[in-house]
Structure 1
Amino acid sequence: MFLAVAEEQHFARAAKRLGMSQPPLTMQIQILERSLGLKLFDRSRRGTVLSAAGAAILPAVRRFAAQAEQLEAVIREVVAGQSAVLHIGAINSAMLDTVPPLLEALRSSHPQLSVFVKEIDSADAVPGLEAGAFDLAFARLEGEVADGIATMPLAEDRLAVAMPTQHALAGLPRIRLKSLDGEHLVMSSRQVSPVYFDMLVSVCRANGFSPRIFHEVRSLTSQLAYVSCGQGLALVPASMRKLAPPNVAIRPLKERVTVVTAAAVWSERRYHPIVEAAVAWLQVAHRKVHT
């Protein structure tokens, strides 16, 4: 009711949207205001607008409403007999290549499975699993990331350099990492993937220089976009060459540096039969690719 009035900015329109008469809606908002000890709306003849307090709580209420809608969807699935539900959080690249074949296999063996997929940043994977928002996540993570959280690398790639085609280094078949000393670099943000960021910085320092970070961005495709706009060079997986625009060249490093581009991540503290089935399928698929 609060959201309807906030979005319609009119009690009569909000009541119509909610399929109810206006007096009960007005009464419920007044009860809400009294229970919170806050004035949520400023009313006038011209309409209704959020007060400062109402505007402050609106984002949290919207998040709460979205979670309630998701819960209702799960309940509807369970009531309909589709009790197998899997919540997946995945970075964009995994949504394109890793998740679809997994879901095809799972739905083949579990016809009643309902799946909810949400795009996330790598940094969201562990908190989301710990909070129970996801049952399974796909992110750029490796090693021990948190107590009770398991990771399984699924895809690795050699590190390469993305640069404008006119750059002096673009004419070389391979780039020595030390050659990037002093260059403006576009890096994947540490906030998005701390492990990945720290690994790249460590590799640079091991080769005699500290990276000069000009921009921090949220995805590999954003790195290519910034390079395309002449905003610096970027360290990216070599496979990104298939997504590079015509004015961006991608050259492998002389040093062999391998990075995890996708890993499955799940909580070992929460048993979920579909997660077990998913991990087993991923292990078999990963072995087939590497044999």
Structure 2
Amino acid sequence: MTATIDFRLIRQLWMFLAVAEESHFGRAAKRLGISQPPLTEQIKVLEKALNLTLFERSRRGTVLSPAGAAILPAVRQFAGQVERLEQVVREVAAGQSGVLRIGAINAAMLETVPSILTRLKERHPKLTVYIQEIDSAEAVPALEAGNLDLAFARIEGEVGPAIATLPLTEDRLAVALPADHALAALPRVRLQSLADEPLVMSSRKVSPVYFDMLTAVCRSHGFAPRILHEVRSVVSQIAYVGCGQGVALVPASMSKLAPGNVVVRPIKERIMVVTAALAWNRNRYHPVIETVLGQLTRGLHTP
């Protein structure tokens, strides 16, 4: 079964997006480098093809109809994918040797990814790298679907037969506290002393393995954590602590992100947590990732 690409539809969707963002046919036409009459005609053709009214026109200007507003997010996503495709094609045509799509959690983008990318660029100067921020829970589905080639996330243990993982960095568990908290004066804080404290935790939806590990550690020290907030990143945890919304278990290296009203103290018990692991789909062939992964694993801990 074969299919053909409807380039006319792609062009009409670009036009729809321009009118939606400009809220004015004249400005949209100028942005697209065409005159207004053909733009208006093409939008009418698109509306007829979709059997939808996409815009409502009034004295106040052009506004999206409910149907137009409903399809706008998908059209924006599609336009972004087309732009990425065009960029990849241009770079390949210009002699680039490969493209690598990387997803990374916020903490890994701050701590782990920059130095690894430096090494990759030294070994593969023509490699084009695209990075997007992800949650740990998004890593495996994105790798399985082929939307990412590599993921840097908090991943431990078995995550599926197709996904391979390699722990990259670990750090000592610490607690972020308001600077005026009684425990902030201590050089180290016993985990059990947090039993009655409201906790700001990294959401289980974001990183289920990390969440379950921290919960299990608390229970092994005699208490069930009192979780007041679940947030999406370590940066958010520290921000919530700074706003007086509790205390947070974070990697000790995150002390560099703490503002003046937050202190980070190591947990007295030596508890190590994986802050980033590398994950990839071993069942998906990628001509670049095979070489990159081999060099990365060999040189990962080389000074």
TM-score range, shorter chain: over 0.9
- For the residue of structure 1 that corresponds to 2:131, the secondary structure is strand
1:2 aligns with 2:16: yes
One-letter amino acid of the counterpart of residue 207, structure 1: H
Question: Could you tell me how far apart the structure 2 residues matched to 1:36 and 1:61 are?
Answer: 13
Aligned to 1:264: 278
Letter in 2 for 1:16: K
Which amino acid in the other structure matches residue 231 of structure 1? Answer: Q
Summarize the Cα distance change of 1:55–1:249 in structure 2 as closer, same or farther, 3 Å threshold: same
**5+ residue gaps, structure 1:** none
Q: Is 1:195 the equivalent of 2:209? A: yes
Which TM-score applies when normalising by structure 2? 0.89
Name which of 88, 94, 97 aligns with 1:74: 88
CA distance in 2, matches of 1:143, 1:29: 52
SS in 2 for 1:56: helix
Give the superposition deviation at 1:45.
Answer: 4.2
Q: 1:94 aligned to 105, 108, 133, which one?
A: 108
The structural deviation recorded for 1:221 is 1.7
Structure-2 separation of matches of 1:250 and 1:114: 37
CA RMSD of aligned residues (A): 1.8
Q: Aligned to 2:156, what secondary structure does the other structure show?
A: coil
- Quote the residue 1:39 is aligned against: 53
Cα deviation digits, residues 208-266 of structure 1 (max 9, x gap): 22111111111112211211221101111111222222322222223222110011111
The equivalent residue for 2:169 is 155
TM-aligned CA deviation for residue 181 of structure 1: 1.3
> Is the 2:162–2:281 contact (alpha carbons within 8 Å) kept by the matching residues of 1?
yes
1:93-151 Cα distance to aligned partner (Å, 9 max, x none): 32233223322322333232111112222222122212222111111111112330111
User: Aligned residue for 1:14?
Assistant: 28
Aligned to 1:128: 142
Cα distance in 1 between the residues matched to 2:233 and 2:284? 30
SS in 2 for 1:20: coil
2:112–2:169 Cα contact (<8 Å) kept: no
TM-score, normalising length from structure 1?
A: 0.93
User: 1:84 maps to which residue?
Assistant: 98
- What is the percent sequence identity of the aligned residues? 68
| Equivalent pair of 1:190/1:198 in contact (CA under 8 Å) | yes
Query: Which deviations, in whole Å up to 9, do the C-alpha atoms of 1:66-110 show, x marking residues without a partner?
Result: 111111111111122214111111122322332233223223332
Which letter does structure 2 place at the counterpart of 1:122?
Answer: S
Give the aligned partner of residue 57 of structure 1.
Answer: 71
Q: Report the more deviating stretch, 21-30 or 153-162.
A: 21-30
Instruction: Show CA shifts across 1:5-31 (max 9, x none).
Output: 111222222122111222222222112
Judged with a 3 Å threshold, the aligned counterparts in structure 2 of structure 1 residues 11 and 245 are, in CA distance, closer, same or farther, namely closer
| Cα separation, 1, equivalents of 2:260 and 2:245 | 16
Task: Classify 1:96/1:253 alpha carbon distance in 2 versus 1 (closer, same or farther; 3 Å).
Answer: closer
Is the CA contact 1:102–1:281 (under 8 Å) kept in the aligned structure 2?
A: no
- Letter paired with 1:256: R
Partner amino acid, structure 1, of 2:72: L
Task: Supply the distance in 2 between the matched residues of 1:140 and 1:267 (Cα, whole angstroms).
Answer: 16
Shift of residue 173, structure 1, vs aligned partner: 3.0
- Conserved in 1, the CA contact under 8 Å of 2:120 and 2:296? no
**Among 253, 265, 270, which residue is 1:239 paired with?**
253
Choose which of 196, 199, 206 in structure 2 pairs with 1:182: 196
CA 1:46–1:250 in 2, change beyond 3 Å: closer, same or farther? closer
Query: Which amino acid in structure 2 is aligned with residue 28 of structure 1?
Result: Q
Count of residue pairs brought into register by the alignment: 289
State which of 19, 28, 38 in structure 2 corresponds to 1:24.
38
DSSP 3-state at the match of 2:141: helix
Which region of structure 1 is more displaced relative to structure 2, 135-144 or 96-105? 96-105
Q: Out of 213, 224, 232, which is 1:210 matched to?
A: 224
Q: Distance in 2 between matches of 1:12 and 1:243?
A: 47
Whether the 8 Å CA contact 2:107–2:233 is kept in 1: the answer is no
Q: Does structure 2 conserve the Cα–Cα contact (< 8 Å) formed by 1:102 and 1:278?
A: no
Q: Does 1:278 align with 2:292?
A: yes
